[in-house]
RNA sequence: GCCGGAGUGGCGGAAUGGCAGACGCGUCGGUCUCAAAAACCGAUGAGGGCAACUUCAUGUGGGUUCGACUCCCACCUUCGGCACCA
């Protein structure tokens, strides 16, 4: 190697240093929890992934954020728990394995090994002694234990009901896993409704607590809390019983006070009393309507919002308040899944009932009259809502409408309760959690079906029920486990008679609803985790993940934590004290176009498939026009033309992922981390670009180029740093030294505060500013000085959360021993932030008309005098009358004329 | 339709009542080089002026204030969530 290349290498950030430090951290156990017994603790956790194999830099963002916090708290002297695991069971893993034509187990473990390697070379440090893998028997054994705990507590039950069936994935799904368009969250297929007997977790028992405790989660994004509130969907009102020929018909209403205005009733088509209440002469109509409703998908049922369909079924119900006979209809705007599946219709005071009544010519009776107006149903054009007083309502006449004390709703409930025709009631939109899955790759449900039809738990000493290793695991509408006859046949644990195992597996979200608890005691083979361990670490201090889990995972995890809290196993009844939802990493997709001739391009097959484009070769202009509506632009790169998309989320399917391995080898993980952290605030999505990479690289190169040549001199300052922290006596410093010293403390403060507030982009920006100052200072001062030495020592420490490899490298150059994470975080000195002289802005009529430098202690009177005697200001105010002078000490003087 | 967030240079973004555009990218000019790259130095919101300087400018319109990106009201756009929930 020649001298020049050696020198060049020295002056640049060298990614080959990284491996050494990663080995060092792992060997020394720097990020193993419990390293600092007695120190304050922090539990930092990123949502664990399902093992997809090769990681790209987009996956990294989530982990980098957790790693930054882990290292920040480590260097501050905390005992940090930062564990990792694999959400290895479930549909995503199983479907991918099927597609790859491999056994899910083999596929999963291969991917885990690959992903783990990527995380390793990215320098994300975890306490791997606590790694959990949900598809391992030593994990799902406790998943089965948890199921049985819920069963014992009456929170797991088996019931026959109308459930969501995914025809593509061939399994049932929980409500949370079906989107508003009626599609599976995973397969995207329109779900069908099937009547099946399935296992449920009784999450509705916890609805009130899940709702109320959201208020205690002050460090959760408001957005996520709102989504959970909407999902739980609490409504307060009353149940009212109407009598019919087939017995009592109960409805739920939030407005029992409008009962006197109920002029008909509507049942959901699936309502159990429909058959009994259908009069013979209406049977044909009703059957047709039911058939039509069943044919409609969820989308159809919700897309025709305004247009109501329904039929009269030939029966009447008695309105309990006045004995009136009101007709009973069925219509699919009434949903079986909410309330009681039946409503009393009050067309004058409900928009939907109004539309229905207008369509079918039913009576509209006004029972709430606004002051000064005369509403009547016949002429009411717009459905009306608002305040008023009750009319035509017997004992409630004259009472003001409203939910408060002394208002109509409370009065109506009191009346119903006194008459025995109803009571106050609360309804939630949240339903019990359907956890059975007719799929292979999951935790077997640890229950046994006895010959007499009863169901008993597998005795604890027979857990785990190990997932059998079968080769024919493809989904086929019932669990593939049912075909494993040897496994299914089992002796009744009490009588020894032949019995059969439950052949369904559990929803993978059960696995992920408590993994953060297992991390506190991952190797415990006697219990799910010890009380002491969960007591040490829970709740998770900072949870980091994507917004896509706002309802699913986060709601389930809160539920299970509350159940375990009630059991006395966990000290906290909320699992995640603070939640951070990070934005996506995006990148443009670049597709090279074929150029059969000069000025002519042809779209390649992959692009034509994605968007409708002509197959034949076209001119550059025509290509540009064709691409534009699809969000692509045409760019020239040398001789080749490329179609370039807008930024889209990095993914395997979009083909725009930057693989971690090759990138880190070429540039270093510190560069990747800087790109991700600096480009945008972490909650925003960010675009990964070559220019961004170059910028990050430039920053690290400049650091190395500045510090490396002076590292010996800086090392001398190390002893001083150790003795005094970041502080130096400022007496005798030159102005430029004093200024640099002040800038150091400004930076320490900013980086500290920004890091704690997740403003990593501005933290890094302030370090860049300090670096620019250092370059300027070096030009001024020429050589290494005690101030420069202290700044460099602190700088290495400030880098430790963000670019850890370089930070350790600098630390060792600067004479540091052991790890920088034991070296302490710099503490800023408020006194050092104060400038001797500050610039004060002079304004005339709020417009900047000059600036003066004044001593920082200058008082109001002095500032006023200086401002008014300023030449520039005098010119401006000449001949004008001064009306007012506003002086803001340390900032500005504004003269109003 | 309802609820919530956001709107700032060519771009990502800073600034939460006091000099709008920190930091970075890009672009332009320069130094070095046979040349290029890299690196370094300088410029860079728009308009006007030879210049000192000046006008306009944070989605739109209004308001509060000596002073508004920042606070208040209305609207527009956009992103996200919910959506026949009785």
HEC readout, A146-168: HHHHHHHCCCEEEEEEEEEEECC
Separation CA A118–CA A136 (nearest Å):
21
Separation CA A776–CA A284 (nearest Å):
90
pLDDT digits (tens, 9 = 90+) for A331-347: 988 988 889 999 999 98
- Nucleotide nearest A851, CA–C1', reads B19
Separation CA A767–CA A748 (nearest Å):
9
Separation CA A76–CA A68 (nearest Å):
12
Contacts of A170 (CB under 8 A, 6+ apart): A438, A439, A475, A476, A477
Query: Could you count the other beta carbons within 10 Å of the beta carbon of residue A531?
Result: 15
A553/B23 CA-to-C1' distance in Å: 37
pLDDT digits (tens, 9 = 90+) for A530-582: 999 999 999 999 999 998 888 889 999 999 999 999 999 999 999 999 999 99
Query: Could you count the other beta carbons within 10 Å of the beta carbon of residue A782?
Result: 8
A351/B74 CA-to-C1' distance in Å: 27
Q: Does the CB of A231 sit below 7 A from strand B?
A: yes
The reported pLDDT for the residue numbered A783 is 63
Judge contact between A752 and A72, C-beta under 8 A.
no
Average pLDDT of chain A, as a whole number: 88
Confidence of residue A781 (pLDDT cuts 50, 70, 90): low
Can you say how many angstroms the Cα of residue A464 is from the centroid of all Cα atoms in its chain?
32
Judge contact between A722 and A768, C-beta under 8 A.
no
Q: Does the CB of A875 sit below 7 A from strand B?
A: no
- Nucleotide nearest A304, CA–C1', reads B84
Specify the residue for token string 């004093």: A738
Interface confidence, given as ipTM, is 0.95
Separation CA A246–CA A269 (nearest Å):
16
Q: Which of residues 758-777 of A touch strand B (CB under 7 A)?
A: 759, 761-762, 764-765, 768-769, 772, 775
- Nucleotide nearest A681, CA–C1', reads B13
Judge contact between A173 and A166, C-beta under 8 A.
yes
In three state form, how does the secondary structure of A634-649 look? Answer: EEEECCEEEEEEEEEE
C-alpha distance from residue A34 to each of A26, A524, A809, A897 (Å):
15, 16, 25, 67
Nearest to A22 by CA among A115, A114, A122, A113: A122
**Sheet with strand A79-81: strands edge to edge:** A79-81, A41-46, A542-545, A579-581
What percent of chain A lies above the pLDDT cut of 90? 56
- Tokens, residue A4: 């020049």
- Nucleotide nearest A11, CA–C1', reads B39
A845/B55 CA-to-C1' distance in Å: 16
Q: Compute the average pLDDT of residues A755-780.
A: 91
The reported pLDDT for the residue numbered A385 is 55
Residue A259 has pLDDT above 70, yes or no: yes
- Nucleotide nearest A679, CA–C1', reads B12
- A181-185, A461-465, A479-483, A664-668: the lowest-pLDDT one: A181-185
The reported pLDDT for the residue numbered A7 is 46
Beta strands A368-369 and A389-390, pairing class: antiparallel
Confidence of residue A858 (pLDDT cuts 50, 70, 90): confident
Angle of CA points A156, A157, A163, to nearest 5°: 110
Surface-to-core class of residue A113, CB atoms within 10 Å of its CB (0-12 exposed, 13-18 middle, 19+ buried): exposed
User: How does A596-630 read in b/e, with b if 16+ C-beta sit within 10 Å?
Assistant: eeeebbbbeeebeebeebeeebbebeebbebbeee
- The crossing angle, in degrees rounded to 10, of helices A690-707 and A804-813 is 10
The reported pLDDT for the residue numbered A4 is 41
In sequence order, what E strands does A85-127 have? 85-86
Judge contact between A73 and A35, C-beta under 8 A.
no
Q: Does the CB of A334 sit below 7 A from strand B?
A: yes
The three-class DSSP label of residue A497 is: coil
Tell me how far apart the 2 most distant CA atoms of chain A are, in Å: 111
The three-class DSSP label of residue A73 is: helix
Separation CA A110–CA A171 (nearest Å):
26
- Tokens, residue A124: 């994300």
The three-class DSSP label of residue A33 is: coil
pLDDT digits (tens, 9 = 90+) for A882-892: 888 888 888 88
Give me the residues paired with residue A860 across strands. Answer: none
Separation CA A251–CA A339 (nearest Å):
7
Judge contact between A553 and A509, C-beta under 8 A.
yes
Please provide the DSSP assignment of A250-318 as one string: EEEES-GGGGGG--EEEE-TT-TTHHHH--GGGHHHHHHHHHHHHHS-HHHHHH--S---EEEEEEEEE
- Tokens, residue A139: 């994990």
Q: Which nucleotides of B are covered by protein (CB under 7 A)?
A: 3-5, 12-15, 18-20, 22-26, 38-41, 54-55, 66-68, 80-86
B85: residue with closest CA to C1': A338
Judge contact between A422 and A238, C-beta under 8 A.
yes
pLDDT digits (tens, 9 = 90+) for A445-467: 999 999 999 999 999 999 999 99
Residue A6 has pLDDT above 50, yes or no: no
pTM: 0.92
The reported pLDDT for the residue numbered A769 is 94
Can you say how many angstroms the Cα of residue A423 is from the centroid of all Cα atoms in its chain?
39
Judge contact between A770 and A747, C-beta under 8 A.
yes
- Nucleotide nearest A771, CA–C1', reads B23
Q: Does the CB of A891 sit below 7 A from strand B?
A: yes
Q: Which of residues 260-319 of A touch strand B (CB under 7 A)?
A: 268, 301-302, 304-305, 308
Give me the residues paired with residue A425 across strands. Answer: A237
Judge contact between A336 and A345, C-beta under 8 A.
no
Angle of CA points A678, A686, A673, to nearest 5°: 40
């Amino acid at each position: 190697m020649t001298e020049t290349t050696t020198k060049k290498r020295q002056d640049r950030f060298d990614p080959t240093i990284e491996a050494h430090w990663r080995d060092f951290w792992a060997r020394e156990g720097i990020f193993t929890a419990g390293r600092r017994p007695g120190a304050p603790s922090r539990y930092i956790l990123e949502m664990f992934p399902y093992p997809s194999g090769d990681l790209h830099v987009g996956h990294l963002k989530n982990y980098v954020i957790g790693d930054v916090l882990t290292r920040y708290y480590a260097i501050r002297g905390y005992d940090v728990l930062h564990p990792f695991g694999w959400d290895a069971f479930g549909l995503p893993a199983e479907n991918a394995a099927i597609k790859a034509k491999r056994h899910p187990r083999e596929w999963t473990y291969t991917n885990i090994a690959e992903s783990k390697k990527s995380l390793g070379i990215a320098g994300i440090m975890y306490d791997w002694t606590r790694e959990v893998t949900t598809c391992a028997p030593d994990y799902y054994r406790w998943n089965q234990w948890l199921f049985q705990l819920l069963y014992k507590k009456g929170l797991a039950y088996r019931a026959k009901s109308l459930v969501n069936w995914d025809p593509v994935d061939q399994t049932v799904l929980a409500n949370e896993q079906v989107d508003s368009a009626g599609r599976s969250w995973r397969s995207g297929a329109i779900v069908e409704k099937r009547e099946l007997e399935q296992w449920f977790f009784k999450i509705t028992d916890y609805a009130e607590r899940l709702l109320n405790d959201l208020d205690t989660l002050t460090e959760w994004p408001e957005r996520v809390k709102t989504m959970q509130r909407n999902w739980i969907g609490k409504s307060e009102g009353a149940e009212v019983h109407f009598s019919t020929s087939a017995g009592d018909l109960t409805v739920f209403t939030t407005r029992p006070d409008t009962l006197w205005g109920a002029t008909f009733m509507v049942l959901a088509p699936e309502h159990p009393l429909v058959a009994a209440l259908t009069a013979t002469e209406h049977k044909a109509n009703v059957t047709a309507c039911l058939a039509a409703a069943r044919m409609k998908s969820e989308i159809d049922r919700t897309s025709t919002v305004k247009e109501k369909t329904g039929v009269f079924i030939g029966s009447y119900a008695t309105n309990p308040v006045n004995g009136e006979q009101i007709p009973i209809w069925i219509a699919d705007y009434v949903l079986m899944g909410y309330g009681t599946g039946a409503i009393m219709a009050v067309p004058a005071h409900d928009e939907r009932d109004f539309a229905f009544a207008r369509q079918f010519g039913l009576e509209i009776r006004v029972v709430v009259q606004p002051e000064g107006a005369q509403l009547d149903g016949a002429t009411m054009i717009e459905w009306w809502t608002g305040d008023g007083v009750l009319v035509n309502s017997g004992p409630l006449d004259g009472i003001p409408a409203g939910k408060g004390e002394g208002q109509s709703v409370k009065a109506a409930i009191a009346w119903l309760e006194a008459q025995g025709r109803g009571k106050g009631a609360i309804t939630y939109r949240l339903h019990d959690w359907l956890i059975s899955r007719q799929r292979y790759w999951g935790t077997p449900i640890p229950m046994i079906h006895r010959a007499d039809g009863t169901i008993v738990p597998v005795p604890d000493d027979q857990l785990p029920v190990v997932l059998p290793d079968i080769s024919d695991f493809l989904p086929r509408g019932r669990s593939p486990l049912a075909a494993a006859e040897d496994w299914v046949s089992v002796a009744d644990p009490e009588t020894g008679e032949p019995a059969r195992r439950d052949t369904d597996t559990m929803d993978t979200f059960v696995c992920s609803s408590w993994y953060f608890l297992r991390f506190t005691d991952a190797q415990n083979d006697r219990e799910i985790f010890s009380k002491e361990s969960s007591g040490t670490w829970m709740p998770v201090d900072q949870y980091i993940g994507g917004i896509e889990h706002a309802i699913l995972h986060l709601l389930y995890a809160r539920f299970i934590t509350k159940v375990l809290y009630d059991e006395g196993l966990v000290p906290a009844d909320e699992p995640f004290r603070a939640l951070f939802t990070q934005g996506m990493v995006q990148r443009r997709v670049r597709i090279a176009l074929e150029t059969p001739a000069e000025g002519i391009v042809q779209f390649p097959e992959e692009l034509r498939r994605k968007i409708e484009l002509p197959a034949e070769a076209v001119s550059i202009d025509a290509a540009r026009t064709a691409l534009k509506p699809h969000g692509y632009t045409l760019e020239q790169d040398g001789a080749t033309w490329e179609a370039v998309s807008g930024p889209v989320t990095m993914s395997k399917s979009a083909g725009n992922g930057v693989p971690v391995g090759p990138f880190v080898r070429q540039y270093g993980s510190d560069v990747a981390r800087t790109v991700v952290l600096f480009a945008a605030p972490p909650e925003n999505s960010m675009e990964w670009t070559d220019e961004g990479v170059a910028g990050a690289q430039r920053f690290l190169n400049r650091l190395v180029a500045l510090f490396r040549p002076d590292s010996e001199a800086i090392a001398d300052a190390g002893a001083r740093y150790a003795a005094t922290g970041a502080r130096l006596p400022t007496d005798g410093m030159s102005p430029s030294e004093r200024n640099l010293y002040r800038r150091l403390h400004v930076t320490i403060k900013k980086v500290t505060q920004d890091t704690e507030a997740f403003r990593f982009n501005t933290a890094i920006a302030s370090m860049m500013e300090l670096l620019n100052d250092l370059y300027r200072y070096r030009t001024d001062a020429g050589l290494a000085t005690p101030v420069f030495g202290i700044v460099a020592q602190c700088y290495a420490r400030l880098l430790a959360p963000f670019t850890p490899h370089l930070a350790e490298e600098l630390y060792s150059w600067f004479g540091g021993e052991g790890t920088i994470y034991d070296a302490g975080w710099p503490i800023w000195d408020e006194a050092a932030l104060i400038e001797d002289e500050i610039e004060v802005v002079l304004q005339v009529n709020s417009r900047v008309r000059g600036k003066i430098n004044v001593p920082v202690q200058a008082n109001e009177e002095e500032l006023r005098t200086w401002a008014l005697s300023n030449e520039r200001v005098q010119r401006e105010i000449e001949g004008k009358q001064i009306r007012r002078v506003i002086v803001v000490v340390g900032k500005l003087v504004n003269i109003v004329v």
